[in-house]
Structure 1
Amino acid sequence: MRILIYGAGAMGLYLSARLAQAGHSVSLKARGAAVSQAEAGVPVTIVSGGDSHEVSTVRTVAEIPSSSDFDLVILTTKAWQVPQAAEEAAPALSPQGRLLTVQNGVDAPARAAEHVAARQVLAGTAVVIAERTGPLQVSLNGPEAHLILGRWEADAEGQEGDQAITAALLQAGLLAQWSEDIVTALWKKLALVASYGGVGALSGAPVGITRAVPQTKALVRNAMLEVFNVGNARGASLQEQDLEDIMGTFTQKFPESTTSSLQRDLLEGRPSELRDQVGAVVAHARELGVDVPIFETIYASQLPRELQARAAAERS
């Protein structure tokens, strides 16, 4: 399978390495130091379980080859970068190919579908603990990625291709799961990351503290319920068991030092996914007439930091 990974962050490097190791033809759209190192002959390296593996078959490029005909494009950028990435990748996608979004939030598939035929868009959620430790190096700090993917728009004729993509991900050692209700999966993932990340940003504390303090633990749970209410009003089918699942992840599975990327970016003055996670909940809630007082508070309190970070990034 011919695969393009757009974005050389931790997720992009991880997927590039695993899919190339499985024998697929993988191109990695990168920029800056990653491209410079690749031109100097440095391979993508993945560190897992204490072992380091160089993957020399990943083709790292600064520009997507105009003659490409990819079977699968995976966008691994930040959520706000999806429109540009989808627009650039669209001409390189084969007519029967698929474009997969794996961003946090619920709006990336629709944004991608503005540049690629909706029937070609696959929406996905991804859970993996990976850290980019160099321009072309990634460290896997836990189990292999768990991906849930599904069609953004029903397309019975594309089922065979969808099965091939799921098989390719499984072949690469990933836990890939097909869903006929990807909307619910997206909102469930958002309920987890936006709630513990948003409360973490408010409190300035890692998971080990926010779940140990009864007040902040309850705040996270109530925030999750707000997302469930909005998601179900939007067409998801989130149930009580789904709430227990994500609360179990928050209270039992995360290491004590865990912070979300949203929380870290806000703390360190970098542009974050505030608008795409917390802001998305607020925007959908307002449109649907659903009350989300916790998310309204998180968004209002963190927006000044986000605006400062984006202004600084534009000046640099």
Structure 2
Amino acid sequence: MSDSTPGAGVTGASVAPARLKLCVVGAGAIGTALAVRLAAGGHEVSVLARGARQTFIATHGLTLRDGDRDLAFRPALADLSDLSAHDLVIVAVKAGALPALLPRLAPAMRPDALLMPAINGLPWWYGLGEPAPRAGRPLAAVDPDGSLLPLFAPERLIGCVVYSRVTMLGSGHVIVSGRQDLQLGAVGGAPPLAAIAAQFAEAGIAVRVEPDIRRAVWRKLIRNAATNVVTALTGATLEQLGHDAEAIRIVSDIAREVAGLAAHVGRAVDPEIDELITVLRGAGPFATSMLQDVRQGREPELGAIAQAPLELADLVGHPMPTLHAVAALLRLHVRAR
């Protein structure tokens, strides 16, 4: 077992081996797509799943429809008690699962292994290395008791922003619609991003290394907060949002509010409203991840996508009335169901 406190055990973390040994934690839509593509690219990939999904994978493996290709992969199943064989652990679960997962994950990893959380929203690690008043300050919406921030030294963390339209069918089969793009960046220190990006690219995953991963987080959060919360509340697909004038007004207002918060904390980002509307109108009948959760009776990912930015907005004194109102209505909607 390793000591995972900040500054401990990071020797060698800046050098990537010639071929990574990977573990993907979480075998939902995103995790399955990453695991199958990386395995098809020749990487040694194991998967950590739980409950019925673990049983399903042990029996049937993972299957992916990627454009006109059908890919299948029967991974080794990892054990949460020992992940010491892995160079890079990719966490592809909902942010709400992290407070229970990460304290068990950290001691199971090697002290020089890297962690890449492929999650939506404002991540628990955002305040690491940030200036006051955010420096080292946990966000209760994603780190309720503040226990996550000290688990990993910043240089062991790879910030990851995922752009992907993936859907898991009831059969467990995952369908990818369009390209899957990853944006990677250093949370702190100098992890071997170029080497990791090159290995991912060999597996057909489009990767870009970002000089400021926090700015990339805000660019994605603008779209997530503006669209996921509204689709989950209304039941509308992205395409339906894009063709409804009132919905566009609400989506645009939320996008501007989140962009304003990003600027307030020193990460100015253009909300690109016209481009967002174009994307919505061309998205087809795609259900966002939050809408998929509501449809299937699962708790939507409000914490990282809405509550965390609202919490930060209160901290720095930035009003966000539209997101606040729509998120409140969605919470009521979920409780009423």
Report the Cα offset of residue 65 of structure 1. 5.2
**Residues 37 and 200 of structure 1, relative CA distance in 2, 3 Å threshold:** closer
Q: 2:308 aligned with 1:280, yes or no? A: yes
More helix by share: 1
The higher-RCO structure (CA 8 Å, 6+ apart) is: 2
Superposed CA deviations along residues 70-106 of structure 1, whole A, max 9, x for unmatched, are 2111110001112333222223433332111121101
Separation in structure 1 between the aligned mates of residue 186 and residue 274 of structure 2, nearest angstrom: 26
Q: Is the 8 A contact 2:239 2:280 kept in 1?
A: no
**Residues 135 and 20 of structure 1, relative CA distance in 2, 3 Å threshold:** farther
Per the alignment, residue 254 of structure 1 pairs with: 283
Report the Cα offset of residue 284 of structure 1. 1.3
For structure 1, list consecutive stretches of 5 or more residues without a partner in the other structure.
310-316
Per the alignment, residue 138 of structure 1 pairs with: 174
Per the alignment, residue 51 of structure 1 pairs with: 69
Aligned length, in residue pairs: 298
Q: 2:87 aligns with which of 61, 68, 71?
A: 71
Per the alignment, residue 314 of structure 1 pairs with: none
Q: Is the 8 A contact 1:34 1:135 kept in 2?
A: no
Q: 2:55 aligns with which of 36, 41, 44?
A: 36
After TM superposition, the structure 1 = structure 2 runs for residues 38-187 of structure 1, keeping only pairs within 5 Å, are 38-40=57-59, 42-56=60-74, 58-61=75-78, 63-64=79-80, 66=82, 68-110=84-126, 113-133=149-169, 137-143=173-179, 145-153=180-188, 155-156=189-190, 158=191, 161-187=192-218
The residue type equivalent to 1:152 in the other structure is V
The residue matched to 1:74 in structure 2 has which SS? strand
Q: Report the TM-score, using the length of structure 1 for normalisation.
A: 0.85
Identity across matched positions, percent: 25
Report the Cα offset of residue 146 of structure 1. 0.3
Q: Report the TM-score, using the length of structure 2 for normalisation.
A: 0.81
Select between 67-76 and 260-269 the one with higher mean Cα deviation.
260-269
**Residues 10 and 81 of structure 1, relative CA distance in 2, 3 Å threshold:** same
Report the Cα offset of residue 114 of structure 1. 3.3
The residue type equivalent to 1:138 in the other structure is V
Separation in structure 2 between the aligned mates of residue 48 and residue 213 of structure 1, nearest angstrom: 30
Q: Is the 8 A contact 1:8 1:136 kept in 2?
A: no
For structure 2, list consecutive stretches of 5 or more residues without a partner in the other structure.
1-19, 127-142
CA RMSD, aligned part only?
2.3
Q: Is the 8 A contact 2:241 2:280 kept in 1?
A: no
The residue type equivalent to 1:151 in the other structure is A
